[in-house]
Chains A and B, each alone.
Chain A
Amino acid sequence: MAMNEYTIALAGNPNTGKSTLFNVLTGLRQHTGNWPGKTVVHAEGFFTYNNNRYRMIDLPGTYSLYSNSADEEVARDFIIFEKPDITIVVLDATALERNLNLALQVLEMTSNVIVCVNLMDEAKKKGIRIDTKKLAATLGVPVIPISARNKEGIDTLLKTIDSMVLGKIKTNPITVRYSPEIEQCIEKLIPRVKEVIGDAYPARWVALRLLDGDMSLLRAFQQQPLPSVKEVSIYACHGPAKSI
C-alpha cells in the first residue's frame, strides 16, 4: 500500500525549541539550503509514523508574520500558499503571553493547527503551571505540553498529528474580534475578497491584511498563479485601498 505524504510546518518565536523538535522528529533525514531567492535558511526533514510519511519544514523563527522581514514573509507565504496539512506552533512555556501573539496570527490563517507548549521542564523549574486543557478549549485546537530536549510529550504529539491527518480531530480556532469599526470593514471586504481570489485563501484574514495596508502580501499574491488574475480595486472603509 502506498503511503500518504503530509506536510507539516513548524512555526514559532525564535528560541522556542523548534529546531530541537524538528531534530527529534526527523533525526538525520533532513537537508538544509536557502529559500528560493532569499538568504533565509530552509530546513526540511522527513519521518514516518503509523504508515504515513511526513515532510516537515522548520520555518524561520519570528515574533510575527506581519512586520515584513524576509523571515516573516517566508513563514507567512508558506502557510498561506503551500497550505501545509498541519502547522505546529511551538510556544515557550516560560513566555506564553509573548508567544501567543504568533499563535493567534497563525490561527487566523489556518484551522489545521496543533499548538506545542515546549520547555515545560523550564517552566516547572520556574514554578509556572500551564493549564493546557483550558488553553486548548480557548484556542480551539489541540495543545500538547512537551519538552523537546528531553523528548517528553513526543508520543502524544505524534498521535495528535496522526489523528489530525486522518480527520479525527475537528478544530474550531478562536476568532479574534476587533473593534466594531474594523469588523464592519471586514464584513464589507470579505465578499469582494472572495470575488477576486476565490475560496482558496482565508477571506477574513486577507481582508484584515488589506485593512492593514499589507503591500508585501499583495506582492506575494501577484506572484501566485491565481485562477483569474483580475485587476480589481478593493474599497476599504476609507475609500480605495489596494488593488490586487
Chain B
Amino acid sequence: MVRAKISRLSDSEPGERFRIAKLDINDDIMKRRLLDLGFVPGCEVAVLQKSPLGDPTAYRVCNTTIALRKEESDHIYGERIYDGNE
C-alpha cells in the first residue's frame, strides 16, 4: 500500500475528503478555536466549496458546515482520502 502524502487542508479542492493528522499552530487561541469547531486529529473533513473569491472555503466536519480562511486551513495537516485508501 502506498502511504498517502501529508498535505495541508488548504491544498484540498472541493469534492475531496481529508483526514486530519495534526494542527501545527503557534497561536494558541487559533488552535483552540479550530479544535472547538471540530477540526480534531483523526476527524474526516469534506471540502464543500470555495467562496467566489477563493477564500474562505466551506468544510463539512462532524455533521456541520464550517467556513475557514486559508490562514486557518493552512495549519491543518493530514491526508487526502481517495476511494480505495480508506
Specify the main secondary structure of chain B where it touches its partner.
mixed
For A63, give its contact among B28, B29, B37, B63 (CB under 8 Å): B37
Per-residue interface assignment for chain B, residues 54 to 67, with 1 indicating a CB less than 8 Å from any chain A CB and 0 otherwise = 00000001111000
Q: Please measure, in the bound complex, the distance between the C-alpha atom of A201 and the C-alpha atom of B77, giving whole angstroms.
A: 38
Within 8 Å by CB of B38, from A63, A68, A212, A213, lies: A63
On chain A, the residues within 8 Å of B70 by CB distance are none
Across the interface, do A66 and B36 meet the contact criterion of CB distance under 8 Å? yes
Q: Is the CB of B29 within 8 A of A98?
A: no
Number of residues of chain B lying within 8 A (CB) of chain A? 11
Is A94 an interface residue when CB atoms closer than 8 A count as contact?
Answer: yes
A212 to B36, CA, bound (A): 14
- Interface membership of A97, Cβ < 8 A: yes
Contact across chains for B32 and A97 when beta carbons are under 8 A apart:
no
Min CB distance B30 to A, Å, is 9
Identity of the chain B residue whose Cβ is nearest the Cβ of A96 in the assembled complex: B63
Q: Which residues of A are found within 8 Å of B29, using beta-carbon distances?
A: 67-68
Whether A243 is near chain B, meaning CB under 8 Å from some CB there, is: no
Q: Total interface residues on A, using CB and 8 Å? A: 14
A14 nearest CB neighbor, chain B only: B64
List A82-103 residues whose CB lies under 8 Å from chain B.
92, 94-95, 97-98, 101
Across the interface, name the chain A residue whose C-beta is closest to B33.
A67
Those of A24-50 within 8 Å (CB) of chain B: none
Which residues on A sit within 8 Å (CB–CB) of B62?
95, 97-98
Shortest CB distance B55–A (Å): 20
Whether the Cβ atoms of A98 and B38 lie closer than 8 Å is yes
Residues of B within 8 A of A213 (CB): 28
* Chain A 64-118 residues near chain B, CB threshold 8 A: 64, 66-68, 92, 94-95, 97-98, 101
Of chain A, the residue at the smallest CB distance from B38 is: A98
Is A67's CB under 8 angstroms from B36's CB?
yes
A193 to chain B, nearest CB (A): 21
Contact of B63 among A68, A94, A101 (CB under 8 A): A94
Give the residues in chain A near B33, CB-CB below 8 Å.
64, 67
With both beta carbons as reference points, the residue of chain B lying nearest to A69 in the complex is identified as B33
Greatest chain A CB density within 10 A among B36, B63, B64 is at B36
Known: A64-B36, A94-B63. 4 other contacts (CB 8 A): A64-B32, A68-B29, A98-B61, A101-B38
Q: List the A residue with the shortest CB-CB distance to B61.
A: A98
Q: What CA separation (Å) do A97 and B61 show in the bound complex?
A: 11
A199 vs B27: C-alpha distance when bound (angstroms):
33
Q: Which chain B positions have C-beta within 8 A of A97?
A: 62-63
For the complex, give the distance between the alpha carbons of A151 and B55 in Å: 40
Query: Do B63 and A98 touch across chains, with their CB atoms under 8 A apart?
Result: yes
Interchain CA distance A212-B28 in the complex, whole Å: 9
